[in-house]
Amino acid sequence: MPLRLQTTSGLCLVRDLLRRNSPFGFSLYPSKAKMSKAVPARRLEGLDKNIWVEFASLAATYKAVNLGQGFPNFPPPDFVREALVEVVGGNDTSIHQYTQAFGHPRLVAILARFFGKLFGRDLNPRTNVLVTVGAYEALFCCFQAFVDEGDEVIIIEPFFDCYELMVKMAGGIPVFIPLRVNADKSGKLSSSRDWQLDLAELEAKFTQRTKAIVLNSPNNPLGKVFSKVEMEAIAAVCVKHDVVCFSDEVYEWLVYDGNEHVRIGSLPGMWDRTVTIGSAGKSFSATGWKVGWALGPDHLLKHLRTVHQNSVYHCGTAPQEAVARVLEKEFERFGTPQSYFFQLPQQLQRKRDFLIQSLEAVGMKPIVPEGSYFLTADLSTFKVELPGLPDSEEPYDSRFAKWMIKNKGLAAIPVSAFYSPPQKKNFDHFIRFCFAKEDSTLKAAGDILQQWSQKEPSQ
Ligand code: PMP
Ligand code: GLN
């Protein structure tokens, strides 16, 4: 029997000591499991659940029309697919081998040229650019590079779920600030613009321990595009409190209705404290390629390089070469109607509007996104009596989304998954749909909704 102490943490400590440091060369702790050393590292505590794993599997099991996880089910444009085919099928066999650790030379060169133009500054391909395994790895490198035990990181809610988990994995403390909802006089929430940052509240979140803030515009899940005025205000607090900004801009090309994407790293005083994160997967509708990047000043990126070289080391060569060729083409036609960055938002805006109509027709209230490929629907007037205890710990939207997959064959993501634990109950009546889907998929979703409302007209 291990020593008994009063507290659970005390017990764990003794158990760990006995397991790991037994003076006899074998564990004194009688374990039922064969592998008594397989105790997970403390940094994994509480991080085992993942909304994407859960909902992707549910959607597949029930063969649902899947507007859940955010990826296009239409193909990337021909020039993108052809680039990869040419790269892999060409005579240059070195493309099948390792390349430069911090980014394939041709890719970092065009990223530096392209974004140098957008930021209005010269970028060095070797020091201001890091190629990563999707934007995910860029985010992971940011948190691992800068967040120490007890450091605070400000996260604006609702937020892409991995920010919270990655901050915790680095030993940091996420500090949340919810966007405040400004409904119109009739109580109607019609646009992602109705979710606003209270700047006084934001400023109050900054403490001596604040190390960084995460910004995501266009935002996942709401599709909010932060305005220049909002960005300038955030920038001013970052400068005042000497805080680093991780700016997740994976949906940078997906802005609608004449909205403008502002790069916070281009605002005065911000370049030196900002890591800007992008994704070829999102930019070119090829999420499976998992090519992403981080851009920023050398004094920040050098620490991301340390994480990268000691974890991933380098990313697949062929997709990098293909993304380089595709970006070179985009660079030539940038700002013209031939540019994919011009065509994609137009195509998506039509899809967004189609989904809005389908949702409105059945009484789910769409919150029109200014950007991204997600649309949040308000369920408050579309309540369905769901099986399960009324005082269930699981938020209503989560139960609703699971029920919808199983009973209606339609998948969406509960928005409470994008909130911190204390806020989940306050935002438990929204679900997020991804509209980057074939027209036939969106029509199939619309048909399900139509049939549903005809069968249950009381909703
Ligand atoms: N940031 C946001 C806001 C996202 O929605 C996603 C989802 N793909 C990512 C980062 C990760 O992007 P990638 O697929 O390039 O890893
Ligand atoms: N970013 C996408 C979404 O929000 C995909 C998430 C993921 O693959 N983990 O749906």
pLDDT digits (tens, 9 = 90+) for 207-244: 999 999 999 999 999 999 999 999 999 999 999 999 99
DSSP state for residue 7 in the 8-state scheme: S
The helix/strand/coil state of 103 is coil
CA angle at 127 for the pair 323 and 286, rounded to the nearest 5°: 20
Using the structure block, give the residue that is written with the tokens 């499991």: 33
Confidence of residue 112 (pLDDT cuts 50, 70, 90): very high
The helix/strand/coil state of 421 is helix
Distance (Å) from CA 290 to ligand 1 centroid:
9
Q: pLDDT higher for 459 or 63?
A: 63
The CA distance from 72 to 349, in Å, is: 14
The CA distance from 360 to 379, in Å, is: 11
The helix-helix angle for 317-332 and 105-119 (nearest 10°) equals 40
The helix/strand/coil state of 155 is strand
The CA distance from 96 to 109, in Å, is: 20
* Torsion sign (Cα): 258, 263, 266, 270: positive
Confidence of residue 189 (pLDDT cuts 50, 70, 90): low
- The pLDDT of residue 33 is 55
Confidence of residue 51 (pLDDT cuts 50, 70, 90): very high
User: Which atom of ligand 2 is the closest one to the Cα of 52?
Assistant: 9
Distance (Å) from CA 283 to ligand 1 centroid:
11
Mean pLDDT of 123-134: 98
Please tell me the number of the ligand nearest to residue 51's CA: 2
Could you tell me the domains of the chain?
A: 51-75+339-450 (3.90.1150.10), 78-333 (3.40.640.10)
Q: Which of 69, 139, 220 for mutating ligand 1's site (highest number of atoms within 8 Å of CB)?
A: 220
Contact between 411 and 390 under an 8 Å Cβ cutoff? The reply is: no
Does residue 403 have its Cβ closer than 6 Å to ligand 2? no
Contact between 221 and 376 under an 8 Å Cβ cutoff? The reply is: yes
Q: pLDDT higher for 367 or 12?
A: 367
Confidence of residue 384 (pLDDT cuts 50, 70, 90): confident
**Beta pairing class for 65-66 and 129-133:** unpaired
- The pLDDT of residue 35 is 72
Res. 127: pLDDT tops 50: yes
Phi-psi region of 383 (alpha: psi -120 to 50; beta: other; left: phi over 0): beta
Mean pLDDT of 181-199: 81
**Which residue minimizes the CA distance to atom 10 of ligand 1?**
135
The CA distance from 415 to 408, in Å, is: 19
Does residue 52 have its Cβ closer than 6 Å to ligand 2? yes
- The pLDDT of residue 382 is 78
DSSP state for residue 91 in the 8-state scheme: S
Strands (E), 231-367: 244-248, 274-279, 291-295, 365-367
Rounded percentage of the chain residues whose pLDDT exceeds 90? 82
- The pLDDT of residue 388 is 67
Confidence of residue 458 (pLDDT cuts 50, 70, 90): very low
Contact between 197 and 177 under an 8 Å Cβ cutoff? The reply is: yes
Structure token digits, residue 364: 């789910």
Res. 163: pLDDT tops 80: yes
Mean pLDDT of 277-284: 98
Structure token digits, residue 228: 């220049």
Mean pLDDT taken over the chain: 91
**Which residue minimizes the CA distance to atom 4 of ligand 2?**
70
The CA distance from 324 to 116, in Å, is: 15
Structure token digits, residue 45: 């505590």
Please tell me the number of the ligand nearest to residue 417's CA: 2
Does residue 285 have its Cβ closer than 6 Å to ligand 2? no
- The pLDDT of residue 363 is 86
Q: Got the DSSP string for 375-429?
A: EEEE-TTS----SS-TT-SS-HHHHHHHHHHHHH-EE-EEGGGGS-HHHHGGG-S
303 closest CA partner among 290, 294, 292: 294
410 closest CA partner among 74, 51, 63, 71: 63
pLDDT digits (tens, 9 = 90+) for 10-33: 444 444 444 454 444 455 545 555
Confidence of residue 88 (pLDDT cuts 50, 70, 90): very high
Contact between 155 and 214 under an 8 Å Cβ cutoff? The reply is: yes
- The pLDDT of residue 1 is 33
CA-to-CA dists, residue 137 to 99, 133, 140, angstroms: 18, 5, 5
- The pLDDT of residue 184 is 65
- The pLDDT of residue 69 is 92
Alpha-carbon dihedral of residues 404, 405, 408, 411, nearest 10 degrees? Answer: 90
Amino acid at 247: S
- The pLDDT of residue 259 is 95
User: Which atom of ligand 2 is the closest one to the Cα of 70?
Assistant: 10
pLDDT digits (tens, 9 = 90+) for 290-322: 999 999 999 999 999 999 999 999 999 999 999
- The pLDDT of residue 392 is 74
Confidence of residue 4 (pLDDT cuts 50, 70, 90): very low
296 closest CA partner among 341, 245, 330: 245
Indicate the pTM of the whole model. Answer: 0.91
- The pLDDT of residue 8 is 40
User: Going by C-beta distance under 8 Å and a sequence separation of 6 or more, which residues neighbour residue 70?
Assistant: 220, 287, 373, 374, 434, 436
Q: Which of 162, 165, 250 for mutating ligand 1's site (highest number of atoms within 8 Å of CB)?
A: 250
The CA distance from 327 to 322, in Å, is: 9
DSSP state for residue 73 in the 8-state scheme: S
Res. 459: pLDDT tops 60: no
Least confident segment among 106-115, 248-257, 309-318, 386-395: 386-395
What Rg do the C-alpha atoms of the chain give, in angstroms?
Answer: 24
DSSP state for residue 459 in the 8-state scheme: -
Res. 249: pLDDT tops 90: yes
Mean pLDDT of 37-41: 88
pLDDT digits (tens, 9 = 90+) for 258-280: 999 999 999 999 999 999 999 99
